[in-house]
């Protein structure tokens, strides 16, 4: 299934978790010595328990507001978090998760060292055709697909926290890859 198909078929837990994972990967690396909590961490619990979503969303917005200012790398994440639906349900959640997916792909495309061979590589990756995309963009599309597939395969009777831990591990590794690529690109430009 393409990324578009997986987003269209995802349940509310899957949409929330995949969106939070996408936004988390887009956050810039914390400053050296920073000891504050991860700004999106409150939302992970709300992916499991929908009734927590409004309060945890407000916490995450506040935490990110203290970190992001217009023009900074975290600003698009802050803007999308501001657009998140206060009710973790319905088509508004699906549209928001879709926008988070696009942002993550665009961020990865922006850090790819190789120029895409074909036009509109983000749309092509979302449609399931990563040919011609650079390694970061293709990797992010594959990561999003894997996360959505993992979420859809979760047994509703199994403890959701265990499954979300695996999702966070995949997402965290993706964030490390992106940050390493961004640092490498920064060194090349210097």
C-alpha dihedral, 54 to 154 to 122 to 99, nearest 10°:
-10
If residue 125 lies in a helix (H) or strand (E), which one and from where to where? helix 121-126
User: pTM of the full predicted structure?
Assistant: 0.90
Over its length of 190 residues, how does the chain's per-residue pLDDT go in tens digits?
Answer: 999 999 999 999 999 999 999 999 998 776 555 555 688 888 988 988 899 999 999 999 998 887 655 557 788 899 999 999 999 999 999 999 999 999 999 999 988 887 777 789 999 999 999 988 889 999 999 999 999 999 998 866 666 666 788 899 999 899 888 888 888 877 776 5
């Amino acid at each position: 299934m393409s990324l578009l198909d997986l987003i269209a078929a995802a349940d509310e837990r899957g949409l929330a978790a995949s969106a939070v994972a996408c936004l988390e990967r887009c956050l810039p690396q914390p400053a050296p010595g920073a000891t504050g909590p991860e700004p999106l961490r409150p939302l992970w619990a709300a992916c499991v328990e929908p009734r927590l979503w409004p309060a945890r969303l407000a916490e995450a917005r506040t935490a990110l507001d203290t970190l992001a200012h217009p023009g900074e790398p975290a600003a698009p994440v802050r803007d999308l978090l501001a657009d998140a639906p206060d009710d973790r349900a319905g088509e508004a959640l699906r549209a928001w998760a879709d926008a988070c997916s696009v942002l993550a792909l665009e961020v990865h495309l922006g850090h790819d060292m190789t120029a895409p061979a074909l036009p509109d590589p983000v749309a092509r990756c979302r449609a399931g055709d990563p040919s011609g995309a650079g390694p970061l963009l293709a990797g992010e599309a594959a990561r999003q697909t894997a996360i959505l597939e993992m979420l859809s395969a979760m047994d509703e009777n199994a403890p959701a926290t265990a499954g979300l831990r695996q999702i966070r591990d995949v997402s965290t590794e993706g964030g490390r890859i992106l940050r390493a690529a961004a640092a490498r690109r920064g060194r090349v430009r210097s």
